[in-house]
Structure formats: structure tokens, C-alpha cells
Amino acid sequence: MGRLVGKHALITGGTSGIGLETARQFLAEGATVAITGRSSEGLDSAKRDLGGDVLAIRSEAGDLAGQRELATLLRENWPKVDVLYANAGDVTHRPLRDWDEAAFDTLMATNLKGPFFLIQVLLPLFANPASIILCGSVAAHIGLPQSSAYAASKAGLLSLSRTLSGELKDRGIRVNGLSPGPTETPALGKLGLEDEAEEALRREIRSLVPIGRMGTPLEVAKAAVFLASDESGFVVGTELLVDGGVGNL
């Protein structure tokens, strides 16, 4: 289809779930793609899955020195960055009484501080026009128990889609939020639950969604393609909810 032909797109957290599927869709649309991940094994697996000439970079989203190294590596390999999809995230949910400062700081570094400074170090590389997509969450709009720190980090990230759009618009850089609702990803399988408990959790999550099911990574990835493409050239400083109606119904 070629909606992203000629564009260089960086996807953080691109080794599984929504990030991996977005990389697949970006490639199908003609983009040159780089993905980041925390583990070499995950990056190798994603590269095999995606095929083609994907630049796979080991990078920790909350490590500011790592963001500078990432920018340097891209500068050495690419002439520009047309699209940044800040997708990497810490999804920790726990009761307020169980949080400590270290865990809170780690989550905020990954979900808010890291993307902020990644955008800063990529500024010289961004093309004109360029699109920045910040992965929010419908959790920023609802009062889901145990999501306090996570939802706050995503609310901050969504605020950046407006404030940075105002600041960077004269550079031709659009910033928008993309907020998934409950989505079928491998993350649920990493909670260490027994099969019965995991299925019970899935039923509980599905009950929150007005249309009665969880979303798929493909549905979110297709929305990311739109925001990355020139088709969304008049979409600036806003949020696209892909959440089955959770945030509005």
C-alpha cells in the first residue's frame, strides 16, 4: 500500500505485543524501521519474526544515557527520523500501600521521563514534517483500582502531546497520543498466574469493555499507521482512543 514509503520510523518497545505488530505494519507500508527492547533475546526473536532490514537496538526506555546512545546510533545509520512511536512502557499495577519510591521512580522513568528526553535528543534528527506518537492509555481517563502510578504516568505523557505540539509545530513536528484500551498481548501471560486465574482476569477485563471484548495489537497498530502517515497531517496535539469505548461509554 505504501503509506509510509520513504519514512524512517523508530518504535520503542518493539519486541512484542503492540510494538511488534506496529513494526510489522510499518514495514508493510514501506517504512524503514528501527525497534528497541531491553533483552537481546527479545530483539533477536523480533528481528527473525519481522525479517527484512530492521534495525534492532538494545535500549532501556528509562535510562537517559541510553537515550543519548540511541540517538547517536540512529544518526550514524539514518539521514533523518520521520516517525517516533514511544511505545515502551512499565505496566505495573499494585495497591497504593504496596508502592515504594524505587518502584515508582522506575515506572515514571520508563513511561514519562524517558520519552521526554528521547524526544529532546532526537530533535536534530527529526524531519520536517515528522510525527511523534506517544503511547497513552485509557487508564488515564478512568478510576481503575491499582492503576494509580501507571495512569498518572500516562496522563503526563498525554499532556506532552499537547504541550510539545505547541512548542514544536513550527518545526513541522506533530505530537499525538495513541491510547489503547484492554488489549490481547503477551503481558497477561507474564503475570505468573495459574491458567484458571489468568482466564478469570481476562473475563474481568473484558467486562470493562462496552463492546464486550479486548482489542488486538493489529487494531492499535493500524491506528499508529494512520498517525504516522501524511493522512493525519491535520491531526495535531490530540489523543486517539482505541479502547472499545472504555473511556467514553
Domains of the chain and CATH, by start: 8-180+216-241 (3.40.50.720), 189-214 (no CATH)
At 195-234, the pLDDT tens digits run 776 677 778 888 889 999 999 999 999 999 999 999 999 9
The amino acid present at 107, given as its one-letter code, is L
List the grid coordinates of 78: 539514518
103 SS3 class: helix
CA 197 to chain centre: 27
Question: What confidence category does residue 115 fall into, taking pLDDT thresholds of 50, 70 and 90?
Answer: very high
Question: Is 176 in contact with 161 (CB distance < 8 Å)?
Answer: yes
Q: Which residue in the list 23, 54, 150, 227 is annotated as catalytic?
A: 150
Clarify whether 85 is annotated catalytic: no
The amino acid present at 61, given as its one-letter code, is A
Compute the mean pLDDT over every residue in the chain, rounded to the nearest whole number: 94
For residue 35, pLDDT over 70 is answered with: yes
The whole-model pTM stands at 0.95
